[in-house]
Amino acid sequence: LLHGAEGEDQKKGHVSGFALIVSWFFQKLSPTVGLVTHNHRNQLEGFDINDLDAGNYQHPIPLARADYSTPRLVQSALDSGRRNDTETALPPFQTDASFSLACNWSEFKDASLSIGDDLRESVHLPLFCARALTNLPNKLSLVAQFTATGKDQTNLEKIEGALLVAPRKIMNEVRECGFVD
């Protein structure tokens, strides 16, 4: 979604589904700082870090409210690996600050991982310890986009999902919006 093989001219107007989700989620929660992860796999010149390398090659991009006000601004940050408005300082860390984190795991849909000739993946879900999620600070929220099915050469339709950890009011809005199964 974010880093396809298309040329730079084609990418200029492109806004990924992830950028749409991030902008919407962050605007709903209005965090003091939103952290969106930028994937460095296959992105660093001179380094052969690809989808088959183990490790965390994500870099957090801090976004202030103005930086996540539109999906296009979020996409611009994802494309460049940094926030757009470097003239304005990020808000200082304060005890009343709130944070949201967004990460995109759906970009790894084409990674070759052999699970055996007689096995077929039917669904892939991110796993978290439920106790750890309930112990998150009240002023921290999370959205993780992922590819649930259709990642490999099987004939499964590609279905993307999102794991949300947010206040009950936001979770109820998501349930009632009409575009989520």
10 CB burial (10 A radius; 0-12, 13-18, 19+): exposed
Q: Residue 139: in which H helix or E strand, if any?
A: none
Tell me what percent of the residues of the chain surpass a pLDDT of 90: 24
Q: Give the tens place of pLDDT for each residue, 9-45.
A: 445 678 998 999 999 999 999 999 999 998 777 666 7
Q: What is the mean pLDDT of the chain?
A: 78
* Cα distance between residue 167 and residue 112, in whole Å: 36
On the question of pLDDT at 85 being above 80, the answer is no
C-alpha count within 13 angstroms, C-beta hemisphere, residue 47: 10
Enter the DSSP assignment of 77: H
Range 101-106 average pLDDT = 86
* Cα distance between residue 76 and residue 100, in whole Å: 18
pLDDT band at 154 (very low <50, low <70, confident <90, very high): low
Residues ≥6 apart with Cβ < 8 Å to 159: 147, 148, 149, 150
Give the residue extent of every domain in the chain.
8-108+122-176
On the question of pLDDT at 55 being above 70, the answer is no
This prediction has a pTM of 0.75
